[in-house]
Amino acid sequence: MGLFKSNKREPVSKLNIRKNDIVRVIAGEDRGMEGKILKVFPKKQQIIVEGINFIKRHTKPSQDNPQGGIIEKEGPIHFSNVMVVCPNCGNPTRIGIKVLEDGSRARICRNCSEMIVSS
């Protein structure tokens, strides 16, 4: 009975982080570093941040890389280990949602209450 995984999908939590946001790492090996989000994986709840969490990939020679060898690239980190940096006040902050008069939703900084616009 309990041996097999059910076919029901796990609910995906809503990420308040978007591509091109500037974030600061708050936990882990790269704590205190800042970078821009390059890619977001909502189902895995992970992100790839520019210049953070480098991993080494051993590659065979190919047409793209005829030499082969060891390549360093950014690896994914969990989204809970980063905080968005507010472009207005410059501090890491939590994200709030504000409904505007026209009915659209905008992300706001919890520290300075200014709107956060992704670049």
Give me the domain span that covers residue 47.
Answer: 22-59+71-92
- The secondary structure of 31-65 as a DSSP string is TT-EEEEEEEETTTTEEEETTSSEEEEEE---SS-
% of the chain at pLDDT higher than 70: 88
Does residue 88 sit within a domain? yes
pLDDT of residue 14: 77
Neighbouring-strand partners of residue 70: 58
CATH number of the domain encompassing residue 49: 2.30.30.30
Dump pLDDT digits (tens) for 94-119: 999 999 999 999 999 999 989 988 76
Closest-CA residue to 37 (of 46, 28, 29): 46
β-pairing, 46-49 vs 54-59, is unpaired
pLDDT of residue 112: 92
pLDDT exceeds cutoff 90 at 5: no
Does residue 40 sit within a domain? yes
Does residue 84 sit within a domain? yes
Dump pLDDT digits (tens) for 43-87: 999 999 999 999 999 999 999 889 999 999 999 999 999 999 999
Number of domains in the chain: 1
